[in-house]
Amino acid sequence: MLKKLITLAMAVAALGFAANIQANTIYDFNGLTPGVALTGNGGWTYGGGGTDLATASNTAATGWLGTGVYAQAGASGGTAANYALPNDFNWLVDNQDFDVSILSYDTTATGDFGLVALQSDPNLGDRQMLFGVAEDQWQAHTLKFWTGAIWNSGIVGSWQAYALPTFTAPKTLRVGNHFTAKGGGVYEMQRYYINMSDDPSTVVNIGTPYTSQVIPDLGAVWGAGRYFLYMNLAGKVDDIRIDQVPEPSTLALLACGLIGLLAYAWRKRK
């Protein structure tokens, strides 16, 4: 009897954690054929805004930590492509912290871009969230962000650029936005990057946090979006993620339930 109850307790705990902890790579390019143009490859279509030269690649590069297949910019010209997001985001819990990020590549060479937009759709301009590494002739070694009105009730409709340290060799950076739930469907958004090549355990916050509009249903908002890539020259993108973890109170509740089950099992055995 005790063994059965312990098994039951462990099953309840596992279900609880599965329901509350989500750390999802929602797209990683591994379903694409390497060496083939991105357009027409696994559902990607040309998005306009430049020369369509992006490819799927699995070729190793100095300082690049993406695994398997990734998106590789073309040899010249800007590149834009888009792909429909998976539309089942019902697992996202409203009024709970979450995080969105990508792997991007800082090559230290002028002209390279590796930017990705989530929620980018011609009919959903207010939901755009574009970010990544840019090495252009005006702003070398920068992180660039563009945020639509739903996510940012302050600065809307303009690029925000932040200088990176001048690395002496190419680096892989995880670039993203962390959302802190403030209650009532409002989130505080913090831009950040992680130098995955040199210091993968350190989050570097950049810029000033800003506040979203009221977002009553995260699942519906994300389910209506698309990916949009803008890439140039040696830019690379991989591992698009949306992560959400439970609040401490949720974990505490789960732990209490598990302890209670084990205590009950112990008393029954006695």
Alpha-carbon gap, residue 17 to 21, rounded angstroms: 6
**Residue 59: what residue type?**
T
Spatial CA neighbour of 112 closest among 19, 253, 230 = 230
Based on the domain organization, do 122 and 2 belong to the same domain? no
- H and E: helices and strands count for the chain: 3, 15
Q: What are phi and psi of 79, to 5 degrees?
A: -135, 135
Domain ranges, residue 135: 26-245
pTM above 0.85, yes or no: no
- The answer on 99 and 15 residing in a single domain is no
pLDDT score of 135 more than 90: no
Residues 213, 97 share a domain = yes
Cα separation of 157 and 173, whole Å? 25
Kind plus residue range of the DSSP H or E element containing 59 = none
187 and 211 co-located in one domain: yes
Residues 134 and 172 in one domain: yes
Residue 13's pLDDT is 42
Question: Which pLDDT tens digit goes with each residue over 25-80?
Answer: 788 999 999 999 888 888 888 776 666 678 899 999 999 999 999 999 877 656 66
Q: Judge if 205 and 93 occupy the same domain.
A: yes
Is the same domain home to 73 and 133?
Answer: yes
Q: What is the DSSP track for 202-239?
A: --EEEEEEEE----S-HHHHHHT-EEEEEEETT-EEEE
Please check whether residues 180 and 253 belong to one and the same domain.
no
CATH code for the domain in which residue 152 is found: 2.60.120
Helix, strand, coil percentages for the chain (3-state, nearest 5): 20, 40, 45
Residues 218, 270 share a domain? no
Domain count, the chain: 2
What average pLDDT does this structure show over 152-181?
A: 85
**Torsion angles phi and psi, residue 5, rounded to 5:** -70, -40
Same domain flag for 76 and 13: no
Q: What is the mean pLDDT of residues 81-86?
A: 80
Per-residue pLDDT tens digits for 216-268: 999 988 888 888 888 888 889 999 999 998 655 444 444 444 444 444 454 55
**Same domain for 258 and 229?**
no
Residue count of the chain: 270
Is 231 within 8 Å of 107 (Cβ atoms)? no
- Scanning 129-217, the segments in alpha helix (DSSP H) are none
Residue 121 and residue 8 share a domain: no
Minimal CA–CA distance to 101: which of 69, 64, 132, 58?
132
